[in-house]
Amino acid sequence: MGAALDLPVRAETLPAANGRLIGVLTLNAEKTLNALSLEMTDLLSAQLAAWAGDERVAMVLLQGAGEKAFCAGGDLQNLYRTMLEHRASAQRGDVLGNAYANAFFEREYRLDYQIHTYPKPILCWGHGIVMGGGIGLMAGASHRVATEKTRLAMPEIGIGLFPDVGGSWFLSRMPGKTGLFLALTGAAINAADARYIGLADRVLAHADKPQVIDTLLRQPWSDDRAANGALLGAVLREAEHGTAQAAHAADTPACAAPGPTAPAAQAAGPLRQHRDLIDDLCGRESLEAVLAAFAAVRTEDPWLQKALAAPARGSPGSLALAWRLLERAPQLSLAEVFRMEYGVSLRCAAHGDFAEGIRALLIDKDQRPDWQPAAGAAHFLDTPWPPRQHPLADLDKQTEKT
């Protein structure tokens, strides 16, 4: 048991009242805010595959250890080391020459696709920090919960990457221009905004999780995936109603007459509050025009100030990549987006600003990256594999959610 507790992913099953099981997967790297490593990716994928074929398991709960984060992104330390080794090797001209980066990104995309197309309900409890690779895990779950402490962001432009792990897919399908805004600014959003843009389905109090699990264990689970999904959805809906009632009671003086109110779960977050301005700023005809519009805004709002200032500090090549990827993604299937992003990720690792961004932010921590010109990334969307030899060519488009 002790060895199992030391694994970076803990897997256990909880017995439901009718003999079925609920599988629980816990990202168990609290010291690194549950940053997703290659080992964690493999453990998650293997356990999900095992439970998919186990008729006793009715659903899966995916959560993070500790109170600070569900998952703060990918494990960048090993990627940085192998990028430097690759760039100093005889294979530096070969985009496919970094074996670790090839393995990391391929298996991460496979895991995310596995979650998107999983044959049983997955409840992702997205409490605390959810960034980058963490959003990749959360986005594909059939049921997503955000809490009062949830903070989501895709801040990749600040490290010389781009909104990967399916970011091109889900950002391009958000209301209006909100997805493009988040891609270019890396702005952090709260639970209310996560629900507004479709990254969360319910907003619950984190303290209610034990009660939610207890209620799930009393449900009449069956072999019917749709029925099990409906049961899970009903439990979460009722729990959210309880959260809203509790928030209303806390905000209503004892002497006040009862009446309608906007519960915390429904209050508009800053992204939604600024939606009209965001649509206007990001509706320009070119990236250059959008960035100029950002720079011209004068506001006293701290959240908006921080968001609009971020692109000026980010990688020009990453900004250009994010723009082009979000232009192309709406015409592609989920599998096609994953194949496209995988190739772009390897080009970023081999020749882009990725290593420099990690150095400036996490290694030397001087916050002074020396970015390359945006024109250097013009060919990054070109696939590095011969026709029909893409490592993700086997992803089954017939099982995708639309």
Residue 203: φ, ψ to 5°: -120, 115
Report yes or no on 127 lying in a domain: yes
pTM listed for this prediction: 0.93
| pLDDT, tens digit, 9 for 90 and up, residues 125-139 | 999 999 999 999 999
Residue 250 pLDDT: 61
CB-based contacts of 193: which residues, under 8 Å, 6+ apart? 269, 270, 271, 272
Phi-psi region of 44 (alpha: psi -120 to 50; beta: other; left: phi over 0): alpha
- What is the per-residue pLDDT for 242? 82
Contact 203, 265 (CB under 8 A): yes
d(CA 309, CA 290): 13
Is 259 contained in some domain?
Answer: no
Q: Looking at the 3D structure of the chain, how many domains does it have?
A: 1
Q: 378 lies in a domain? A: yes
Q: Can you read off the two tokens belonging to residue 53?
A: 């074929």
Instruction: Tally DSSP H helices, then E strands, for the chain.
Output: 17, 9
Q: Give the up-direction half-sphere exposure of residue 233: CA atoms within 13 A in the CB hemisphere.
A: 12
Q: Are strands 9-15 and 21-27 parallel, antiparallel or unpaired?
A: antiparallel
Residue 257 forms part of a structural domain:
no
Within a domain: residue 256?
no
* CATH assignment at residue 111: 3.90.226.10
- How does DSSP assign 164-208, residue by residue? TTTHHHHHTTSSTTHHHHHHHH---B-HHHHHHTTS-SEE--GGG
DSSP string, 259-307: -----TTTS--HHHHTHHHHHHHTTSSSHHHHHHHHHH-----HHHHHH
d(CA 341, CA 339): 6
Question: Containing H/E element for 226?
Answer: helix 225-251
Distance, in Å, from the CA atom of 344 to the CA atom of 329, rounded to the nearest integer, reads 13
Rounded to 5°, the CA angle 106-111-117 comes to 125
Q: Rounded to an integer, what distance in angstroms lies between the CA atom of residue 320 and that of residue 327?
A: 11
Q: Report residue 240 as tokens.
A: 């959210």
Q: pLDDT at position 399, please?
A: 54
DSSP string, 138-160: HHTSSEEEE-TT-EEE--GGGGT
pLDDT on residue 317:
97
pLDDT digits (tens, 9 = 90+) for 13-39: 999 999 999 999 999 999 999 999 999
Q: What is the pLDDT of residue 299?
A: 97
For residue 313, tell me if it sits in a domain: yes
pLDDT at 261: 34
- Ranges of residues in the chain with a pLDDT under 70 are 1-5, 247-266, 397-402
| C-alpha triplet 322, 323, 324: angle, nearest 5° | 95
Residue 260 covered by a domain = no
Range of the domain at 181: 2-250+265-399
- Distance between CA atoms of 32 and 131, rounded to whole angstroms? 13
Q: Is residue 310 part of a domain?
A: yes
Enumerate residues 6+ apart whose C-beta is below 8 A from 255: none
Buried b (16+ CB within 10 A) or exposed e, 318-332: bbbbbbbbbeebeeb
Which pLDDT belongs to residue 9?
98
